[in-house]
């Protein structure tokens, strides 16, 4: 049985293919901050959506990466921050939903009682006593303090909270995808946590 050798069609080598797919992967995971016409943060979108908005003339690039994206006919900046050319009305004030991940992020993964690394969430007023799942009643807590506190309030144990829990504020909390802000977004997200 003889081997058939496929003709060379200019296909990339394995090294080139991984480099090309790496670039595709990089572009597909890049995120772009979208600012409303009044410069307030509106959302975080994919790189692809940002390029479409810019090419359609619906947005302009305020901050871009150093290396552009090239196709066969055009070269486009890789947008990090775009500004919409027309104002988009936001119909309601957005509130941040309570979540375990959000509580840990708000408290910077620090225990509200001892200050060590936190990996659990504790109800200040225990749920068994009617404590709600709210920003004001949930704190990040290390496992040791959480087990020691048990079904009691901090006052009953003789502890004090290091910081009074409150709902997080700022655009970085309201925007989906802004939990890991790009450094180029810093000047547009002044209250980022």
* pLDDT above 80 (res 133): yes
* pLDDT above 70 (res 12): no
Range of the domain at 39: 31-91+171-188
What integer best gives the mean pLDDT of the chain?
81
144 and 182 housed in the same domain: no
Which residue in 175, 192, 33 sits closest to 90, CA to CA?
175
Binned at pLDDT 50, 70 and 90, residue 188 comes out as: confident
Residue 135: CATH number of its domain: 1.10.30.50
- DSSP string of 38-86? TS-EEEEEEHHHHHHHHHTTSEEEEEE-SSPEE-SS-EE--EEEEEESS
Inside any domain, residue 3: no
What is the number of structural domains in the chain?
A: 2
99 vs 184: CA distance, rounded Å: 27
Single pTM value for the model: 0.57
Binned at pLDDT 50, 70 and 90, residue 93 comes out as: low
> For residue 104, what pLDDT is reported?
93
Three-state secondary-structure class, residue 17? helix
Do 20 and 68 meet the contact criterion of CB atoms below 8 Å apart?
no
């Amino acid at each position: 049985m003889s081997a058939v050798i496929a003709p060379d069609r200019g296909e990339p080598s394995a090294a080139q293919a991984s480099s090309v797919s790496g670039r595709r992967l990089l572009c597909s995971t890049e995120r772009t901050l979208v600012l409303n016409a009044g410069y307030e943060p509106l959302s975080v979108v994919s790189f692809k959506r940002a390029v479409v908005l810019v090419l359609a003339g619906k947005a302009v690039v305020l901050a871009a990466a150093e290396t552009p994206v090239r196709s066969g006919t055009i070269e486009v900046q890789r947008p990090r921050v775009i500004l919409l050319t027309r104002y988009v009305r936001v119909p309601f004030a957005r509130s941040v939903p309570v979540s375990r991940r959000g509580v840990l992020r708000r408290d910077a993964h620090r225990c509200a009682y001892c200050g060590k690394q936190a990996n659990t969430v504790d109800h200040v007023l225990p749920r068994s006593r009617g404590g709600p799942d709210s920003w004001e009643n949930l704190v990040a807590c290390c496992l040791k303090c959480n087990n020691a506190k048990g079904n009691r309030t901090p006052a009953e144990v003789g502890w004090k909270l290091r910081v009074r829990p409150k709902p997080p504020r700022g655009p970085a909390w309201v925007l989906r995808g802004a939990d890991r802000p790009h450094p180029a977004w810093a000047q547009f997200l002044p209250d980022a946590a």
